[in-house]
């Protein structure tokens, strides 16, 4: 059984079909990339999986169960985490505090226990702190642990956001353009981390990315979209040499000539 399945999903805004009968399945442990020109519907698919949009047709299943009757806040509990193209962090908080909010879904203490700071709460705090420290070590965020988000360089903020997603201990992570705005070296780090996420942590990765080098380096399979429709699915090489994909990116051949 696939971990994530989109089955004939359609979403239209007014008359424009942002996502048009899209079907694909992501296997557990896979790195799956969505590519396509701007406006192809990649981020819309992320928003559909996150339940911020509801499809007019089709079904979305996670671990075999439809998620269409869930609210956006229930998605985290399934073990789905996400990062954003424009980085969505808690700006007036420290790196450590941001990662600790990522532990929200694992917190099981009750209000009165929190207020009395019972032994159970103390044990829980230690447990969450250890989990967060592991992530900090993994992403080499130690120098920034107590720094406030506002004022941190863009590259670090992207790492913090990825760290917050990892602190959730997700089964599936949705990365929205993890390499955008990063230097060549930083992008190489991302490639290593994505590999490790899959190998060491067993996390399935679905990413939207424009950097084709990164996509080629880390993805098992690639899905190319244009105008909300699936053009091709396959290995990075297969997709990159697909004539329909080349046409969508470069325009019809007569135009080039």
Other CB atoms closer than 10 Å to residue 16's CB: what's the count?
A: 11
Q: Indicate the residue among 53 and 236 with the shorter CB distance to other proteins.
A: 53
Query: Residue 19: beta bridge partners?
Result: 11
The enclosing H or E element of 172 equals strand 172-176
Q: Indicate the residue among 72 and 251 with the shorter CB distance to other proteins.
A: 72
- DSSP classification of residue 148: B
State the nearest-atom distance from the C-beta of 104 to other proteins, in Å. Answer: 5
State the nearest-atom distance from the C-beta of 140 to other proteins, in Å. Answer: 22
State the nearest-atom distance from the C-beta of 77 to other proteins, in Å. Answer: 5
State the nearest-atom distance from the C-beta of 95 to other proteins, in Å. Answer: 14
Q: Indicate the residue among 76 and 95 with the shorter CB distance to other proteins.
A: 76
Burial 187-213 (b: 16+ CB within 10 A, else e): bebbbebbeebbeeeebbbbbbbebee
State the nearest-atom distance from the C-beta of 92 to other proteins, in Å. Answer: 6
Q: Indicate the residue among 75 and 194 with the shorter CB distance to other proteins.
A: 75
Using alpha carbons, select from 109, 111, 141 the residue that is nearest to residue 125: 109
Q: Indicate the residue among 33 and 81 with the shorter CB distance to other proteins.
A: 81
**Residue 77 · residue 70 · CB < 8 Å:** no
Q: Cα separation of 235 and 152, whole Å? A: 37
Using alpha carbons, select from 62, 82, 71, 67 the residue that is nearest to residue 5: 62
Q: Cα separation of 36 and 256, whole Å? A: 19
Please give the full DSSP string across 56-95, using - where no structure is assigned.
SEEEEEETTEE-TTS-GGGHHHHTEEE--TT----TTSBH
State the residues that interact with other proteins by CB under 8 A.
50, 52, 71-77, 81-82, 84, 88-93, 100-102, 104-105, 107, 109, 111, 114-115, 117, 164, 168
State the nearest-atom distance from the C-beta of 157 to other proteins, in Å. Answer: 12
State the nearest-atom distance from the C-beta of 234 to other proteins, in Å. Answer: 30
Q: Indicate the residue among 114 and 133 with the shorter CB distance to other proteins.
A: 114
Q: Indicate the residue among 77 and 253 with the shorter CB distance to other proteins.
A: 77
């Amino acid at each position: 059984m696939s971990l994530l399945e989109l089955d004939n999903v359609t979403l239209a805004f007014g008359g424009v079909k942002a996502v048009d009968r899209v079907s694909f399945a992501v296997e557990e442990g896979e790195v799956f990339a969505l590519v396509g020109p701007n406006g192809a519907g990649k981020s819309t698919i992320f928003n559909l999986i996150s339940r911020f949009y509801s499809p007019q047709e089709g079904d979305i299943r996670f671990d075999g169960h439809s998620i269409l009757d869930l609210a956006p806040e229930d998605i985290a509990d399934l073990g789905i985490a996400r990062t954003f193209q424009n980085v969505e962090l808690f700006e007036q908080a420290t790196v450590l505090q941001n990662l600790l909010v990522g532990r929200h879904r694992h917190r099981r203490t009750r209000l009165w226990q929190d207020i009395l700071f019972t032994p159970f709460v103390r044990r829980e705090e230690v447990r969450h702190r250890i989990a967060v420290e592991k992530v900090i070590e993994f992403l080499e965020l130690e120098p920034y642990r107590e720094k406030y988000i506002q004022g941190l360089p863009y590259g670090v903020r992207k790492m913090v956001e990825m760290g917050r997603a990892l602190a959730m201990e997700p089964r599936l992570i949705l990365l929205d353009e993890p390499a955008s705005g990063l230097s060549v070296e930083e992008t190489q780090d991302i490639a290593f981390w994505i590999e490790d996420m899959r190998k060491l942590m067993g996390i399935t990765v679905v990413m939207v990315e424009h950097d084709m080098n990164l996509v080629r380096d880390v993805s098992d399979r690639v899905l190319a979209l244009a105008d909300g429709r699936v053009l091709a699915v396959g290995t990075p090489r297969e997709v990159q040499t697909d004539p329909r994909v080349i046409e969508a990116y470069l325009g019809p051949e007569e135009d080039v000539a």
